[in-house]
Structure 1
Amino acid sequence: MTAELTIRDLQVRGASVPMPRPLVTGGGTIRTAPLALVDLLTEEGVTGHTYLFCYTPPALGPVVALLHSLAPVLQGQPLAPHELERSLRARFRLLGSTGIVGMAIAGIDMAAWDALARSRSLPLVRLLGGQPGRIPAYNSCGLGMIGPERAGEEARELVAAGFPAVKIRLGYPELATDLAVVRAVREAVGEGVRLMCDYNQSLSVPEAECRVAALAGEGLTWIEEPTLADDLRGYARIRAAAATPIQAGENWWGAREMQAALDAGYCDLGMPDVMKIGGITGWLRAAAVADTAGLPLSSHIFPEVSAHLLAASPTRHWLEYVDWANPILREPLAIEDGHALVPDRPGSGIEWDEAALAPYLCGAPDCVDGSVKG
């Protein structure tokens, strides 16, 4: 029998990691990945690891500070992820558990599950009742809004590693440019490669209806987040008229928001974000909702953890592959023939490469946001 673990401490560091390909969307350009690195230590010597992607450098400091403030709350608590999640949500009930509060809770949850799996010498997927295997992955490391002249060349680079699918960011000022970009990518990669496109919430509902209709003949696998994520009626309206599947869900803050969206006829496909959906505990709830609804379930970023979660999800679909944390990991997630290989080592497989990480820690000379102290 495995002994119960007790939390000793929570250690958090901020890091600003340069992205190999800057991500250009309708909301701006992301050149560095602002990551909150979370280590959950136990009295028994087992440590769980995870990271949070904070999107923009100004958010990194508050996320790290909030996690630091929660360390005394966790010390001495049993390592029981469901109970920890419940108690943390109760603590923030009056404030609410979305935004940076939700991110912090999810970070603790992911690190707790990682520690629990390590304590039992199991990969996370086996602890969740699944088994390691191969998950179809699409390359989402580029094809920001770079125009049709560059999009074809970059698409060829992204599929060169054997990926069977890539994602294109759209939302140019003119519909004609959206179409030109999609066609340039298709010409570059051929008919055998699947194309997903993402509007990153950049369109009004009427404009989304117009552009979704214009893209109907382009053979897209899905059109993602065409309008604001909280517009349930708008999504239902867009979906009702669309000939291409509508993908959404990365901005669901928990399984209740997911269920409300599905009840409204929001989308054909779902892609929760493990950080926003509530960590691994939240993902398990979301996977149950998806299973009941028959909703194909893909992941949003965090490929190291998401590969395990998809492998344990009944309606798994596609893994979104990004390499943003690779520079600071000892052993990044392996991709083979367009599939993510779910690792068969204890936990999620996340281990920090401390030597590689050092220049990017906030407070180090190369860190973009020096206000955060690890």
Structure 2
Amino acid sequence: MKIKSFNITCVQPPLAIPHKTASGTIAAAPLVLLDIETDSGLTGCTYVFVYTPMALQPVAGLLADLGELLKGHDVAPRTIAALIQSKFRLAGNQGFAGMAAAAIDMALWDCLARAADLPLCRLLGASPQASCAYDSMGQMPPDETARQVEASLKAGYRAFKIKAGHPDPSQDEQVLDAMISAAAGEDIWLAVDFNQAFSPVISIERARRLERFELAWLEEPARAEDNAGHAQVRAGTSIPVQTGENWWGIADMQRSLDAGASDHAMPDVMKIGGVTGWQEAAALAHGQALPVSSHLFTEISAHLMSATPTAHMLEILDVAGAVLTDPVTVSSDGTISPTNQPGSGIEWDMTAVEKYSV
């Protein structure tokens, strides 16, 4: 089975709930959709979330050029990944190049799973497993946070993460108190994300104020690349540290592990290198007994978590549901299982794709 052509579409679908952060509100998700057509008639599908509309055309342009380069090549993700890496060795395999390479890798794996008539997790040698899912919430005042927790509990969630780091540290405490009150006695799982907002020293000061909540983790309490700073925070608070969503490839992950930067691992399937990179990351985490949680990309991550020995939590921040025929939904027990259809769970709602294309 060989690559025939790439079909690339840029869309900006709305988020079901606008995601509020310290730097603004994200109301729509800039996505590049990729369909890789093969000479067998099968098509592999995926998307990448490129964070800003300004990245849509650069990533789409790179994919178009790579589509010409890869035409006629076997649908062999590891071989293709090595070829693309060689082409960007001098320019670097991060940023736009990494986004494009990961899109190709994910679409090729989707195609292989469809060709085998298997869900992706089974192609990877794993039975479908339900993952504990958490609602990844934005930065909101206590009353608004409480209302979202109440709505999410009704939807089935029992786990929540908030964007912390309000200007006044006491506001973070007020938000967490409001979440616990909204749960009305239910046993809920809580984590917070500092989003690289503070120095290690300030993060330690603020984290100590939150220790009474017995949080599951404190995410990115320092700049993503500051491995020593993350290790410093680990030593300065009883809250476990979580990082990894900004690891661009296995080398970044290895540097973090060598520095003792985190109690957990959170690879982002796009930044870590697609399905191929995720498998390497999962093996590395397994070797160090690190719990692995996902970042974004819920559909394909549900499959990858099933094939991850130390799988922990599945993040739910639905960026693509508006353009899918079967958006991910949480079960009444707060879990999400991978789709049982062949592939990675991506089927386009073409009416919506046309509506939100840019």
SS of equivalent to 1:58: helix
Q: CA deviation at 1:151?
A: 1.3
Residue of structure 2 in register with 1:370 after alignment: none
- Residue 185 (str. 1) matches residue 173 (str. 2): no
- Residue 122 (str. 1) matches residue 118 (str. 2): yes
Q: Distance in 2 between matches of 1:10 and 1:285?
A: 26
SS of equivalent to 1:24: strand
Query: 1:26 touches 1:199 (CA, 8 Å); kept in 2?
Result: no
Residue of structure 1 in register with 2:99 after alignment: 103
1:7-46 alignment runs, 5 A limit: 7-46=3-42
- Residue 307 (str. 1) matches residue 310 (str. 2): no
1:45-103 deviation line (CA, Å, top 9, x unaligned)? 01000000011111112111111121110100011000000000000000000011101
Query: 2:249 touches 2:273 (CA, 8 Å); kept in 1?
Result: yes
1:254-310 deviation line (CA, Å, top 9, x unaligned)? 111111101101010111000000000000000010000100000001010000000
Unpaired stretches in structure 2, ≥5 consecutive residues? none
Q: Distance in 2 between matches of 1:322 and 1:176?
A: 26
Q: CA deviation at 1:28?
A: 2.6
Query: 2:338 touches 2:345 (CA, 8 Å); kept in 1?
Result: no
Q: CA deviation at 1:191?
A: 4.8
Q: Distance in 2 between matches of 1:191 and 1:236?
A: 33
User: Match of 2:14, as an amino acid?
Assistant: P
1:151-230 alignment runs, 5 A limit: 151-189=145-183, 190-230=185-225
Which of 110-119 and 184-193 deviates more? 184-193
Q: Distance in 1 between matches of 2:181 and 2:222?
A: 27
Q: Distance in 1 between matches of 2:258 and 2:314?
A: 24
- Residue 276 (str. 1) matches residue 271 (str. 2): yes
- C-alpha change, 1:191 and 1:220, in structure 2 (3 Å) is farther
Query: 1:166 touches 1:193 (CA, 8 Å); kept in 2?
Result: yes
Let me know the Cα RMSD of the aligned residues.
Answer: 1.0
TM-score using structure 2 length: 0.97
Q: Distance in 1 between matches of 2:222 and 2:150?
A: 29
Unpaired stretches in structure 1, ≥5 consecutive residues? 363-374
Q: CA deviation at 1:220?
A: 1.2
Q: Distance in 1 between matches of 2:157 and 2:143?
A: 22
Q: CA deviation at 1:26?
A: 2.3
SS of equivalent to 1:275: coil
Which of 263-272 and 56-65 deviates more? 56-65
Select which of 19, 29, 46 maps to 1:50. Answer: 46
Query: 1:85 touches 1:109 (CA, 8 Å); kept in 2?
Result: yes
Q: Distance in 1 between matches of 2:105 and 2:114?
A: 14
Q: Distance in 2 between matches of 1:334 and 1:207?
A: 37
Q: Distance in 2 between matches of 1:265 and 1:191?
A: 34
Query: 1:137 touches 1:163 (CA, 8 Å); kept in 2?
Result: yes
Select which of 67, 81, 84 maps to 1:85. Answer: 81
- Residue 6 (str. 1) matches residue 2 (str. 2): yes
Which of 89-98 and 343-352 deviates more? 343-352
Residue of structure 2 in register with 1:139 after alignment: 135
Query: 1:247 touches 1:270 (CA, 8 Å); kept in 2?
Result: yes
Query: 1:27 touches 1:202 (CA, 8 Å); kept in 2?
Result: no
Residue of structure 2 in register with 1:366 after alignment: none
Which of 253-262 and 279-288 deviates more? 253-262
User: Match of 1:38, as an amino acid?
Assistant: L
User: Match of 1:258, as an amino acid?
Assistant: M
How many positions carry a matched residue from both structures?
356
SS of equivalent to 1:37: strand
User: Match of 1:50, as an amino acid?
Assistant: T
User: Match of 1:183, as an amino acid?
Assistant: D
- C-alpha change, 1:278 and 1:361, in structure 2 (3 Å) is same
Residue of structure 1 in register with 2:342 after alignment: 346
Residue of structure 2 in register with 1:247 after alignment: 242
Query: 1:159 touches 1:166 (CA, 8 Å); kept in 2?
Result: no
TM-score using structure 1 length: 0.93
Q: Distance in 1 between matches of 2:154 and 2:61?
A: 41
Residue of structure 1 in register with 2:355 after alignment: 359
Select which of 250, 253, 259 maps to 1:258. Answer: 253
1:102-137 deviation line (CA, Å, top 9, x unaligned)? 010000000000001101101100111101121111
SS of equivalent to 2:86: helix
User: Match of 2:115, as an amino acid?
Assistant: S
Residue of structure 2 in register with 1:64 after alignment: 60
Query: 1:82 touches 1:281 (CA, 8 Å); kept in 2?
Result: yes
Residue of structure 1 in register with 2:283 after alignment: 288
Q: Distance in 1 between matches of 2:262 and 2:161?
A: 18
Query: 1:27 touches 1:200 (CA, 8 Å); kept in 2?
Result: no
Query: 2:133 touches 2:335 (CA, 8 Å); kept in 1?
Result: yes
